[in-house]
Amino acid sequence: MTPVSIFAESKRSFRWLDLLLLLFLAGLAIADPIDEPHKQIILLAIAISQWLEGRLVAWQPLRGAAYSVLLKILLATLLLDHTGTIGIESSYYPIYYLPVVTAAVYFGPVGTLLWTTLASAAYCSYLFPVLVLQEYELTRNGLTELALRVLFFYLAGLVVNRFSVERRRQTEQYRRLATELAETNLQLEQAQADARRSERLAALGQLSAGLAHEIRNPLGIIKGSAEMLTRKLASTDPLSSELAGYISGEVNRLNGLVARFLDFARPLHLERREEDVAPIIERALKSAREQHPGAPVRIERDFAPDSPRLPLDEAMAERVFLNLALNAIEAMGDAGGTLRVSIRPAVAEGRSGAEIEFRDSGPGVSETMREQIFNPFVTTKQTGVGLGLSIVSKIVDEHGGTIRLETPAEGGACFRLFFPAEERAARTAEPHPPAVDEAARLGEQARTAG
């Protein structure tokens, strides 16, 4: 913990101690008045330095504490010189406890010893004129008294430093604990959001499967009838035959939409193998380029060479990456931009794996859409039904991974995916929730009926 953090932690709770210290210094100035005002001026300087100490430390964290201790040593030395015929005999020698205690608060044990030694040397410097000028005889009792005073300086510094170090340790421990709790709360919120999203996906999957089943059979009848009308009216009524052809074409389009509903509702059966994810992403980017050959988009790659191999269903993973690449290219539109794709090793929830980012420089996702972007039938495009990211989320979930939408400070959108390097045994052993099983059953019924 640095001196500035100590000051920030304690400036509110210990301001009243500074006030008490100023009162004590005022008492020293009033007591034992002398003719010259030097004592009062020096005590005033000590009071001002004590009051401004916190600001000095906040302004210069490392040097400020050293400057404060050094200034107090100098002022204490000046005070002794103006409060006795010989400074070392002054009754104000305990003023050296002030720089010693200040050093003990801001520095560690070694720093406390060094500053206490400097304060003791400043106090003992008054022996020089005594010994050189031989103003009076230094007796054995006088040396003993001097040694005791110096030892008490060290004792006070070490005792205060012990409590200061312990307080810093506890404060740092509480800070780490608060940080861990904040991270745990964030992970819990994300887990709860994932659970709610999975529940919504399961319920909507069941609904989609039921609707697909109810819609597909009438569509088959409509398509068959339209084809019969086309054949019968081709020679006698060309206009009616053309209209019947339109009906058949729209039925085919609706059948494709129903098929996407079934893809969303049907449970996935992954065939995982240890794969290098970089070639899969490269194929997805190539396919996205082929679907938008004229898009003015620059693709940047940042693939870490030490990324682990992942247990992936290759086709499903490529579908995820293709969908994200297409969304990014379409979001940037005719204005163009940059799509940056990165792969790097990562650890999430105690599991090692790889983190994959798709970051574009497009307009980003609005605040109102971020919470719903993975929900079915939610889309920002003029065309489409909004199932792409829902299916992407489902595939990632089935792989035991996570997907997050982030909004970088520089703009655009960033989809951050995490795939674990090892499968969860519990996940593969767990049965599907009842809603998912029901959705699977209805989905299979609808496909059979179609």
Domain chopping of the chain, boundaries: 3-138, 270-430
Using an 8 Å Cβ cutoff, are 82 and 67 in contact?
no
What ranges in 234-311 are assigned the alpha helix state H?
A: 238-265, 277-291
| Closest to 1 (Cα-Cα) out of 148, 107, 92 | 107
Average confidence (pLDDT) per 10 residues, the chain, 450 residues? 49 59 73 66 83 79 84 88 72 88 89 92 79 62 87 92 89 89 84 73 66 73 80 75 79 75 68 92 93 89 92 93 92 89 90 93 82 72 69 87 87 92 53 43 42
Structure confidence at residue 429 (pLDDT)? 36
The sheet carrying 297-303 orders its strands as 297-303, 337-348, 351-360, 413-420, 402-406
**CA distances to 37, 188, 369, 373 from 191, in Å:** 71, 5, 19, 17
Structure confidence at residue 242 (pLDDT)? 77
Q: Which two tokens stand for residue 148?
A: 């005791």
Compute the distance between CA of residue 57 and CA of residue 165 in angstroms, rounded to an integer: 18
Structure confidence at residue 365 (pLDDT)? 84
> What are the percentages of helix, strand and coil residues in the chain, rounded to 5?
65, 10, 20
Compute the distance between CA of residue 388 and CA of residue 264 in angstroms, rounded to an integer: 9
State the number of CA atoms in the 13 A half-sphere of 431 facing the CB. 6
| Closest to 199 (Cα-Cα) out of 414, 33, 23, 435 | 435
Structure confidence at residue 205 (pLDDT)? 64
Structure confidence at residue 129 (pLDDT)? 64
Structure confidence at residue 441 (pLDDT)? 44
Domain 270-430 class, CATH top level: alpha beta
Structure confidence at residue 23 (pLDDT)? 76
Structure confidence at residue 389 (pLDDT)? 86
**What is the pTM assigned to this prediction?**
0.49
